[in-house]
Amino acid sequence: MWMILDKQRTIAGPGFNRWLVPPAALCIHLCIGMAYGFSVFWLPLTRAVGITSPVVCPAGMRFFEKLTTTTCDWDKPLLGWMYTLFFVFLGSSAALFGTWLEKAGPRKVGVVAACCWCGGLVVSAAGVYLHQLWLLWLGSGVIGGIGLGLGYISPVSTLIKWFPDRRGMASGMAIMGFGGGAMIGSPLADRLMRYFAGPESVGVWQTFLVLAAIYFVFMMLGSFAYRVPPDGWAPAGWAPADRDGKPSATPSASPTLAGTHAAAESMTVGQAWRTRQFWLLWLVLCLNVSAGIGVIGMASPMLQEVFGGRLLGENIPFEQLDAAQLGRVAAMGAGFTGLLSLFNILGRFFWSSLSDTLGRKTTYCLFFLLGAALYAAVPGVGRAGNIPLFCGIFCLILTMYGGGFAAIPAYLADLFGTGNVGAIHGRLLTAWSVAGILGPVLVNYFNAYQIRAGVPRSRAYDQTMLLLAGLLVAGFFCNLLVRPVHKPQPRDDDDTGSASSSARLPAAPHRSGPWEPSPTAAAAGAAHDGSSSWLVLFWLLVAVPMAWGVWMTLRQAWALFG
């Protein structure tokens, strides 16, 4: 049974349509992307014992006692550590197992990711049922975090190899699913919790089990739908990109030779991470994510505290709002957060696709320059009370945050080749782990310091915005220092063994282009024609949930502008 997961079993045959691979990637990323939406569980879990209201733990209770107590409820700071565990284990598992991905292939890695992510939800369900916080951290945080890392990197290398002519678009199609997971999963989880809630349960553990079952089906479907291109495959007429990611002027006359040449120039992960360019890109990703993730974490309270009663058409500071008014502005803050999630998704596809035309280096320069200018403009817009412009600025900022994630695999492929881009990308994602801690800590502690110093809440974010702008300016100069890489010959003693793991695989029949059937067999044409129906159905399988998530997000955001 394990043999069916081998990389050799996933080599595409004649007439395979490469556009079947992106929905397979989305099946996995839309599931693991629910990590962004886990905050939907925090409030119900703070009353898992009390059901209707929290049972507060005694003031003198020790930290380790809170991990195992069954007599009082957890607070939000304790539950919030789940986010830290998610990002730490996502980055570390991606770094540790990236090389294994190139050797084992995306199908095997996708199956392991499904078992970890969904198995972690099952363990978390047991933790909620038994009221053991350590099981919740172990299940979703540690085991699920490993599944996040494996699932995140599983499609990237494969898609870039299938779309060497559109690397940015390919990685954007997959990674936008990670941003869209919460857009679908959060409203679904909310409905499930309300369905299962009763006098003895808040409905969280049952919701975890249902989500685990749904996600397992989707992730296994995506894993078994993965195919890797045959050795030396390339689209007909493809012009290899230059070192800045822009197409060269002369298309390749031989697709087979073009693909083989690209693989031969690939660097191993050990060679890549010893270069200055790798660490400059590490800083580029870390600084871009630190700024963006800080905004995501404070988006809702920032909108409420900056504008206060002006969100309701009344000139009242946030501190003077009554309970009913606070509830109304909180709904607007939730709508703002949902709107940012939507633009995060759109940016992942838009900017990564645009980078195929502009080049990766130019695209990141735009991220940093435009982003720094927007952050610096926020204090003035807030003082002017221009709510639509304020929201528009942050929506644009979030497109570049998402675009930074989506374009980085293509940037790596431009510099180091496509042969081991999955492993190299995995190492680079340790920057995400660092940013997941650095960004929120900088933003939250600096904001708290401003408030303690007597700065009004409506002005306490001004200096924070300038701090985030400074991070982006530093990222701009790191990006400017990135230069083409001199690719050395692969060494047998390197940690990946060769420059391209696909070179050791048996060759599959080559076909003439991405949409055309193989000219060597009549049966291939029939297979291609039959695949058209599967192509439409497969895309509908991921498009329908995404459309529902967009609709739910827009309904929620209407509270802000309606």
Note the pLDDT tens digit of each residue in 154-177: 888 888 889 888 888 888 887 888
**What pLDDT, on the 0 to 100 scale, is given for residue 374?**
95
Q: Is pLDDT at 119 greater than 80 in this prediction?
A: yes
Position with higher pLDDT, 211 vs 327 = 211
SS3 285: helix
Beta bridge partners of 241: 247
pLDDT classification of 507: cutoffs 50, 70, 90: very low
**What pLDDT, on the 0 to 100 scale, is given for residue 259?**
44
From 198-212, 313-327, 421-435, 501-515, the region with the lowest mean pLDDT = 501-515
pLDDT classification of 523: cutoffs 50, 70, 90: very low
Beta bridge partners of 228: 11
For residue range 298-310, list pLDDT tens digits in order. Answer: 777 788 888 888 8
Q: Is pLDDT at 130 greater than 80 in this prediction?
A: yes
Q: Is pLDDT at 262 greater than 50 in this prediction?
A: no
Write the class of the CATH domain 267-486: mainly alpha
**What pLDDT, on the 0 to 100 scale, is given for residue 252?**
44
Q: Is pLDDT at 256 greater than 70 in this prediction?
A: no
Give residue 126's identity as a one-letter amino acid code.
Answer: A
Which CA distances in Å does 162 have to 26, 283, 294, 464?
15, 28, 34, 42
Q: Is pLDDT at 76 greater than 80 in this prediction?
A: no
Six-digit token pair at 111? 């199956």
* Distance of alpha carbon 163 from alpha carbon 112, whole angstroms: 25
Positions of CATH 1.20.1250.20 in the chain: 16-54+63-229, 267-486
Once rounded to an integer, what is the mean pLDDT over residues 36-50? 84
Once rounded to an integer, what is the mean pLDDT over residues 124-142? 94
SS3 517: coil
pTM passes above 0.95: no
* Distance of alpha carbon 394 from alpha carbon 339, whole angstroms: 10
Once rounded to an integer, what is the mean pLDDT over residues 113-130? 96
* Distance of alpha carbon 167 from alpha carbon 235, whole angstroms: 12
Once rounded to an integer, what is the mean pLDDT over residues 27-35? 92
Q: Nearest-CA neighbor of 107 among 220, 188, 18, 183?
A: 220
* Distance of alpha carbon 479 from alpha carbon 283, whole angstroms: 9
| Contact (CB, 8 A) for 442 and 286 | no
**What pLDDT, on the 0 to 100 scale, is given for residue 392?**
92
For residue range 363-404, list pLDDT tens digits in order. Answer: 999 999 999 999 999 999 988 888 889 989 999 999 999 999
**What pLDDT, on the 0 to 100 scale, is given for residue 245?**
47
| Contact (CB, 8 A) for 174 and 29 | yes
Q: Is pLDDT at 498 greater than 50 in this prediction?
A: no
Six-digit token pair at 120? 């972690």
Once rounded to an integer, what is the mean pLDDT over residues 75-98? 85
Q: Nearest-CA neighbor of 14 among 513, 504, 532?
A: 513
Once rounded to an integer, what is the mean pLDDT over residues 276-296? 91
**What pLDDT, on the 0 to 100 scale, is given for residue 310?**
85
| 3-state helix/strand/coil string of 319-360 | HHCCHHHHHHHHHHHHHHHHHHHHHHHHHHHHHHHHHHHHCH
**CB neighbour class for 392 (10 Å; exposed up to 12, middle 13-18, buried from 19):** middle
Mean pLDDT of the chain: 82
Q: What percent of the chain has pLDDT over 90?
A: 34
| Lookup result for tokens 């690397």 | 167
**What pLDDT, on the 0 to 100 scale, is given for residue 303?**
83
| Contact (CB, 8 A) for 33 and 546 | no
| Contact (CB, 8 A) for 144 and 124 | yes
List of residues 6+ apart from 454 with CB closer than 8 A: none
Which CA distances in Å does 117 have to 67, 221, 327, 429, 488?
22, 15, 34, 18, 38
From 151-160, 197-206, 445-454, 515-524, the region with the lowest mean pLDDT = 515-524
Highest mean pLDDT among 213-227, 264-278, 517-531: 213-227
What is the sign, positive or negative, of the torsion defined by CA atoms of 429, 434, 435, 440? Answer: positive
For residue range 263-281, list pLDDT tens digits in order. Answer: 446 788 889 989 999 999 9
Q: Is pLDDT at 30 greater than 90 in this prediction?
A: yes
Q: Is pLDDT at 497 greater than 70 in this prediction?
A: no
Position with higher pLDDT, 514 vs 108 = 108
**What pLDDT, on the 0 to 100 scale, is given for residue 492?**
44
The CB density around residue 254, as the number of other CB atoms within 10 Å, is 12
**What pLDDT, on the 0 to 100 scale, is given for residue 370?**
96
Q: Is pLDDT at 212 greater than 90 in this prediction?
A: yes
The CB density around residue 298, as the number of other CB atoms within 10 Å, is 18
The DSSP call for residue 550 is H
Return the ∠ at Cα 253 (arms to 247 and 259), rounded to 5°: 70
Position with higher pLDDT, 547 vs 340 = 547
Q: Is pLDDT at 435 greater than 80 in this prediction?
A: yes
Residue ranges of the alpha helices (H) in 13-61? 21-32, 42-45
pLDDT classification of 511: cutoffs 50, 70, 90: very low
**What pLDDT, on the 0 to 100 scale, is given for residue 195?**
92
Beta bridge partners of 198: 201
Give residue 222's identity as a one-letter amino acid code.
Answer: G
**What pLDDT, on the 0 to 100 scale, is given for residue 442?**
80
CATH number listed for the domain at residues 16-54+63-229? 1.20.1250.20
**What pLDDT, on the 0 to 100 scale, is given for residue 114?**
97
* Distance of alpha carbon 16 from alpha carbon 100, whole angstroms: 25
Give residue 454's identity as a one-letter amino acid code.
Answer: G
From 69-78, 241-250, 395-404, the region with the lowest mean pLDDT = 241-250
List of residues 6+ apart from 479 with CB closer than 8 A: 280, 284, 361, 364, 365, 368
**What pLDDT, on the 0 to 100 scale, is given for residue 407?**
92
